[in-house]
Amino acid sequence: MTEYDPSSFPRVAVTVDLVVLTIRAEQLSALVVRRGEPPFKGRWALPGGFVRPAEGLDEAAVRELAEEAGLAPGVVHLEQLASYGDPRRDPRMRVVTVAYLALASDLPAPIAGGDAAHAQWRPVDALLVTSGRLAFDHAHILADAVERARSKLEYTAVATAFCTEPFTVAELRRVYEIVWGADLDPRNFHRKVTKTAGFLRPTGETTTRDGGRPAQLYQRGPNAKLNPPMLRG
Amino acid sequence: MTEYDPSSFPRVAVTVDLVVLTIRAEQLSALVVRRGEPPFKGRWALPGGFVRPAEGLDEAAVRELAEEAGLAPGVVHLEQLASYGDPRRDPRMRVVTVAYLALASDLPAPIAGGDAAHAQWRPVDALLVTSGRLAFDHAHILADAVERARSKLEYTAVATAFCTEPFTVAELRRVYEIVWGADLDPRNFHRKVTKTAGFLRPTGETTTRDGGRPAQLYQRGPNAKLNPPMLRG
DNA sequence: CTCCTTGTCGTCGGTATGACGATAAACCCA
DNA sequence: TGGGTTTATCGTCATACCGACGACAAGGAG
């Protein structure tokens, strides 16, 4: 292909969209905002916005995360998911969006930024059935994000991003069970996560918040990779 | 964040860039083109180009793959890699690029499209050292692509995309050894790939093209996932 | 004190893997 | 013709990991 001057070429708008996942009420949930303007007025959509002229993509994602979810960087795991650029995905004009996946723990952030009606946590199961139609191609993006999250739990330690520190092994296990939608054996899970070097860092403290025998409390360990991976049933 | 009219917002150019990997002369190599215009005139760059107004991202990648590498879709494995949008990555203006990773077998395509001086296969090792400076942030993109390819060999069967069908187990093993830069035990490798259901489909034919005892010939099997994964030393 | 709940350690069999020996089936060359 | 070389393929064995599951520990509720 020969060279072109970029400024002479048709331009498109570029946005970032966020799939912010957390676990609320024993359900994997995503942050959605209600659209106040057409197109798709009144429908739920993923939070997001235009990338500003002097801003990088990751930078834009971090800014949106703060603006729309009230989440400071560092508290959440944030990674680029994929880009979506079907010519007809926005009826107004050509918009290419770079989707990001964020994993957050529940407690500390009941959504700042906007009013409660504007942004809301909703279970992903409800968002992905056709009746809960999301705006644009956001159902597609959300499905990809959930799939990414599911497989990342297998070979990385990101599951801890869903937990508020300090946490117990049982709480971490619930994360896996909820995201994967399958029960895991508590004893084998305990063996796996405590014997994998660098996954967890014991605090020495214990808690009885779930009843029963006091459980050890842990923080995230230094090892991001899980090798050999955690296996689903 | 409130709503904006996309057409009132500053627009950027969107391109697709391709990292086309193959194995030539026992080395993992990438397709690069020499830039004829500034910026970075005379330097090597990844093939790519602007996304056209009515064209999706995948579509644009397929088109570029045909135009610049002479590779028809279907013969190669093609997947989206990631997007890169640092505001200063192109000195002329704001350009966001969506990078794609393509894996191709060597023999059938000595590059159509352009003249030999324009596009060339170069070993990735040479391209990634600082002396072989690629244009823009293409060294960064290439490094990400190689890393993606390396890990994809672990848990998928894409390694077969580097082979021309039909191929032998030894040829497939060379792919792993070259991409990973490590030697594998021929006997254990043979056991792994032949016992993993759906990885390979025997043709019944044999060949002696590598000397020694005749080897069974195989085609890609129906199973894209590798479970449990192939392990590096 | 007993039951209940949850956490943690141990055992056992099956499976996959790494290291490596042994055999098979072609070629080369004298 | 027959040995030597090369590569392909099968087999063996010890080890690591996993799934299933039993047993015990340590708290609370009644």
B92 touches strand D (CB under 7 A): no
* Residue ranges with strand state E in B85-187: 95-103, 119-123
Distance CA A84, CA A77 (A): 21
* pLDDT at B2 > cutoff 90: no
Phi/psi for B114 (5° steps) reads -120, 180
Comparing CA positions, the residue from A98, A218, A103, A140 lying closest to residue B96 is: A98
**Spatial contact of B18 and B48, defined as CB atoms under 8 Å apart:** yes
State mean pLDDT over B176-194.
98
The proportion of chain B whose per-residue pLDDT surpasses 90, expressed as a percent, equals 82
- Nucleotide lying nearest to A216, CA to C1' measure: C7
**Main-chain dihedrals φ then ψ at residue B164, nearest 5 degrees:** -90, 130
Residue that is written with structure tokens 């990385």 in the block: A156
Which two tokens mark B85? 């949008």
Q: Which of A65-69, A182-186, A208-212, B17-21 is predicted least confidently?
A: A208-212
A92-138, pLDDT tens digit by residue? 999 999 999 999 998 655 555 555 558 999 999 999 998 779 999 99
Q: How confident is the model at residue A1 (pLDDT cuts 50, 70, 90)?
A: very low
Which pLDDT does position B5 carry in this prediction?
66
Per the prediction, chain A carries an average pLDDT of: 92
Q: Taking residues B5-11, what's their average pLDDT?
A: 67
Per the structure block, which two tokens stand in for A122?
Answer: 């909703």
B56 → closest Cβ in A64, A86, A155: A86
| Mean pLDDT of the region A28-42 | 94
With cut-offs at 50, 70 and 90, classify the pLDDT of residue A73: confident
Taking an 8 Å cut-off on Cβ atoms, the answer to whether B13 and A36 are in contact is no
| Contact residues, chain A, for B6 at CB < 8 Å | 13, 15, 50, 90, 92-93, 95
- Which whole number is the average pLDDT over B98-114? 78
H or E stretch including A115? none
Once rounded to an integer, what is the mean pLDDT over residues A182-188? Answer: 98
Measured from the Cβ of residue A91, the count of other Cβ atoms closer than 10 Å reads: 10
Nearest to B6 among A54, A85, A90 (CB): A90
Neighbours of B166 (CB within 10 A): 19
As a whole number, mean pLDDT of residues B78-99 equals 97
Q: What is the amino acid identity at position B85?
A: G
Distance from the A104 Cα atom to the nearest Cα atom in chain B, whole angstroms: 20
pTM, to two decimals = 0.94
The pLDDT of residue A7 is above 70: no
Q: Is the pLDDT of residue B153 over 70?
A: yes
Q: Contact, A94 vs A87, CB < 8 A?
A: yes
From CA B52, how far away is CA B134, in angstroms rounded? 25
Identity of the residue in A56, A87, A93 whose CB atom sits nearest the CB atom of B55: A87
